[in-house]
Structure 1
Amino acid sequence: MDAIEDGDHVCLTYSDPDERLDLIADFVAAGLDRGHKVLCFTDSISPEKLTEELSWRGLAVARATATGQLAIAEGGRLWFANGSTSATDTLDTLTAEIALAREQGYDGLRVTADMWWATQPVAAVQELLAFESRAADLSTDGRLTAICQYDRDGFDPVTLAFAAEAHAKTVAAVAYHDDALLRICRQHRPPGIRIAGELDYTRLEPLQQALSEALRLDDDIHVNLGKLRFIDITAATVIAKAALSLPTDRHMIISCGGSVTETLRLVGADEAGQLRVQAAR
């Protein structure tokens, strides 16, 4: 995400919806910080739900929407503005939004576009392909920075390959380990790591790598274990020791539930001053 520059047309592919939301929150936050107008078009979840998710990740959504700097809307406003899918109409809508942002005094326009609409029976996939082929032309002067979001489970490999080729850059969450039983990846908002599946002593190396990078990059570290089904004593001890290595003015916040919480308590995690254990969302 740090490599995204003004004027980039970016493809985001994802499998985990939470990872997508982390990355989008980071993109939106950067736009707000840079004084850009930000538009979020959503289909896979409602505008209300996206508002809630961005707020939970630390964005001042209410303030930004009140000033008009941020707008969150259903994707139909972009893709079906005139009742049917048209690449030309969609590009015209974005061209008008770029001009409006400039008139309103913003330094640029950032757009996040959820492409889930293109998986529906009413969608004209050829119009999606036409749009992606021509969208980069709107970004040549740096006024538009856009992320198009593709769910790997919703699109066929051919469409995903085309989408990646049509964009100048692609982004995805950094994964330290990813197999059928365990995924350890970077979490952008709030900053830290996300672990899902089953974690035991055989996967200590990627766990330590992820923790070390979070310790280096982040002030307070968030360890999201909400989708972790099992953790053994050895792995729990590694996490607790990482928290204890923090100076007293920094903290590790672990979100978890069920048996994972109990295992962390067994290794004394709740007694470490730098570590806070809270219920997962």
Structure 2
Amino acid sequence: MADPTTVDNLLPGDHVCWTFDDHERHLRALSRFLRQGLERGDQVLYLTDTFLPEAFLAAVQAYGVDVTEPRRTGQLQVMNAEDSYLASGPFEPEQALKGWANAIEQARGQGYPGLRVAADMGWTTRPAPGTDRLARYEARVNTVLADGYALALCCYDRRLFTHAELDLVSAAHPGTARAGAGTLAGWAPLLRVRRTPTGLALRGTADHTNRDALAAVVEPLAAEAVSTGGPLVLDVSELVSADLGAARLVAGALAAAGGRLLLQGTRPPLAELLSRTGPDDPGSPSPPA
């Protein structure tokens, strides 16, 4: 599983798929995640499935994280899937996205400098209606987090999911901490997406492992550029590498925006890939009429 220290490298705005197969190390990672958030003064939410809320709090307390006062003030909140994702019975992605927006609004209104959320996703293996839309929901969460106020650690028990299922949900996250991450070298999310005053900035690497996450933020940006009349800017000056699929997504967004979305800071490798996404490229969309 990913090393517990990988959570130390998370920043506001990150959305990470964190895989585990050992409850003890998972607990250590969550303890670090909570401690850092509480010390920063952030509001911290843990949506548990692996542990019963009271048992989890007792374990975290044993790891030296004082949870009594943060729980009293509401800075720390722990709840299970039935009280969060499945509060209305079936899983409703639109309702869950509204829940994110409401949680961020409330945290801001209460004066917290940030919001950090850890969520055990084992509940998605239950036969609950709506869980077939999980990957699409995870991808859309990126549009909420790109503002850089909140961060999310989505915890997937590798023993509960097939490799194909993990690949699908991983692609909906800009970064994934897989087995072995952080044990031999420093780890950080592969891609970071941040909202800017003029559009979006991409930092890191865009490839097949985060393709759906990239599409979920770039395609709405193009639509926004059209609806507002633009111009908006997609800043790729800190995008150190990209594959052809990512280039196709970028090219498609530029074409869809009809000149209202501008690309800024293109490095030669990306420029070369973009040059290969012309009208004859089968992966390229048709230009707007």
Q: Which band: TM-score by shorter chain?
A: 0.5 to 0.7
The 3-state SS of whatever aligns with 1:136 is helix
Task: Give the C-alpha shift of residue 176 in structure 1.
Answer: 5.7
Alignment-mate amino acid for residue 161 of structure 1:
D
Pairing 1:168–2:174 present: yes
1:27 to 22, 30, 33: 33
What are the residue-to-residue correspondences of 1:126-145 with 2, within 5 Å? Answer: 126-145=132-151
Q: TM-score, normalised by structure 1?
A: 0.60
Provide the residue aligned with 1:200 in structure 2. none
> Whose strand fraction is larger, Structure 1's or Structure 2's?
1
1:57 to 31, 52, 63: 63
Provide the residue aligned with 2:82 in structure 1. 76
Q: Cα gap change, 1:101/1:176 in structure 2, threshold over 3 Å: closer, same or farther?
A: closer
Q: Cα gap change, 1:75/1:36 in structure 2, threshold over 3 Å: closer, same or farther?
A: same
Provide the residue aligned with 2:118 in structure 1. 112
Measured in 1, the distance between the counterparts of 2:24 and 2:176 equals 18
Asked whether the 8 Å contact 1:10–1:167 carries over to 2, the reply is: yes
Task: Give the C-alpha shift of residue 106 in structure 1.
Answer: 0.3
Q: Cα gap change, 1:125/1:158 in structure 2, threshold over 3 Å: closer, same or farther?
A: farther
Alignment-mate amino acid for residue 154 of structure 1:
L
The 3-state SS of whatever aligns with 1:22 is helix
Provide the residue aligned with 1:97 in structure 2. 103
Asked whether the 8 Å contact 1:111–1:145 carries over to 2, the reply is: yes
Per-residue CA deviations over 1:214-234 (Å, capped at 9, x if unaligned) read: xxxxxxxxxxxxxxxxxxxxx
Q: Cα gap change, 1:161/1:104 in structure 2, threshold over 3 Å: closer, same or farther?
A: same
What are the residue-to-residue correspondences of 1:1-281 with 2, within 5 Å? Answer: 1-171=7-177
The runs of 5 or more residues in structure 2 that have no matched partner are: 1-6, 185-289
Measured in 1, the distance between the counterparts of 2:46 and 2:111 equals 19
Alignment-mate amino acid for residue 42 of structure 2:
H
RMSD of equivalent CA atoms: 1.7
Task: Give the C-alpha shift of residue 95 in structure 1.
Answer: 0.8
Task: Give the C-alpha shift of residue 125 in structure 1.
Answer: 2.7
Q: Cα gap change, 1:176/1:113 in structure 2, threshold over 3 Å: closer, same or farther?
A: closer
> What is the total number of aligned residue pairs between the two structures?
177
Measured in 2, the distance between the counterparts of 1:24 and 1:123 equals 28
The 3-state SS of whatever aligns with 2:56 is helix
Task: Kindly report structure 1 stretches of 4+ aligned residues shifted beyond 4 Å.
Answer: 172-177
The 3-state SS of whatever aligns with 1:92 is helix
Per-residue CA deviations over 1:28-81 (Å, capped at 9, x if unaligned) read: 111111111011111122111111121111111111101210001112222112
User: Identity of counterpart residues, as a percentage?
Assistant: 34
Asked whether the 8 Å contact 2:93–2:130 carries over to 1, the reply is: no
The runs of 5 or more residues in structure 1 that have no matched partner are: 178-281
Q: Cα gap change, 1:83/1:176 in structure 2, threshold over 3 Å: closer, same or farther?
A: closer
